[in-house]
Amino acid sequence: MKIGKTLFGICFAMTFGAFAVNLSTFVYYYETSPRKPQPKVGEIYKLDNHGDIFYVTKTESELVWYAFYCGMFGSLLTGAIYMRFGPKRIGLGRTRWR
């Protein structure tokens, strides 16, 4: 059905966007944030990049984690929509959306 393809496309785009935001902010903070906590400016929240630890503010930390959780939830939702409305075999290698 057309609704399945539409829902799948919307969820996939939102998931890709959330992961792109997560990755870009994480890389930006990794390059610009201090390696030691700075309590005077509020950079006390630790982010760990495979052993390279850097410190950010609470707002920056929440942005990274919210984008990550939105991406994970979006992945699960996209997978569920694909499983429900995804292609169905109709014989000899042919498929169609349900």
Could you report the per-residue pLDDT of 4-62, keeping only the tens digit for each? 888 888 999 999 999 999 999 988 998 999 999 999 999 999 988 888 899 999 999 99
Q: Token pair of 79, please?
A: 């997978």
pTM attached to this predicted model? 0.77
Structural domain count, the chain: 1
With H, G, I as helix, E, B as strand and everything else as coil, classify residue 17: helix
Query: Which pLDDT band holds residue 2 (cuts at 50, 70, 90)?
Result: confident
Dist CA 42 CA 35 (whole Å): 13
Q: Token pair of 88, please?
A: 């169905």
Full domain range(s) for residue 14:
2-97
